[in-house]
């Protein structure tokens, strides 16, 4: 089992447990320089690198403000760590629950080299009163 790998993934998620961290660079210390990140598989395009991940977090934080994570479970196999959790995002004056599974790949240097999140975008769209297509487009959109 990947006990060391689990501790890295859980430390990373821990930065977001109660809200956005004051310092977005702190969790990025656990991420490789060229980390692969896909926030909603298969809806969003993957991005690479700490700068791109931080920019995406900044856009999400600006759009949704408060958030938190409730861990449900964790399992691992060698370098892969699977986490089940419910994320909560505050938008339009209410909390939206986002059940998801995240998969982390931990490299030999003890850094997260890939991170993929699997969730139902339709569930999120219904809770915020948005058409699924509009939600998907907003998540695909990158700043010009």
Reading the chain (144 residues) residue by residue, the pLDDT tens digits are 579 999 999 999 999 988 888 899 999 999 999 999 999 898 888 999 999 999 999 988 887 778 899 999 999 999 999 999 999 988 888 899 999 999 999 999 999 999 999 999 889 889 988 888 887 777 665 554
Within 10 Å of residue 5's Cβ, how many Cβ atoms?
Answer: 22
Q: CA torsion 76→85→44→121, rounded to 10°?
A: 140
Domains in the chain (CATH in brackets) are 3-140 (3.10.450.50)
CA distance 73 to 85: 7
Global pTM exceeds 0.75: yes
pLDDT in tens, 43-62: 888 999 999 999 999 988 88
In whole angstroms, how far apart are CA 23 and each of 26, 28, 30, 32, 61?
A: 6, 9, 13, 17, 12
């Amino acid at each position: 089992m990947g006990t060391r790998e689990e501790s890295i993934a859980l430390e990373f998620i821990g930065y977001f447990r109660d809200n956005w961290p004051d310092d977005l660079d702190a969790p990025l210390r656990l991420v490789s320089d060229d980390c692969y990140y896909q926030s909603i598989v298969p809806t969003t395009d993957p991005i690479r690198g700490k700068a791109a991940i931080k920019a995406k977090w900044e856009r999400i934080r600006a759009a949704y403000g408060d958030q938190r994570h409730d861990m449900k479970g964790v399992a691992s196999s060698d370098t892969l760590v699977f986490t089940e959790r419910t994320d909560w995002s505050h938008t339009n004056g209410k909390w939206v629950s986002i059940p998801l599974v995240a998969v982390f790949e931990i490299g030999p240097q003890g850094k997260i080299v890939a991170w993929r999140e699997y969730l139902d975008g339709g569930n999120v769209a219904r809770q915020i009163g948005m058409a699924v297509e509009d939600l998907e487009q907003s998540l695909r959109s990158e700043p010009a």
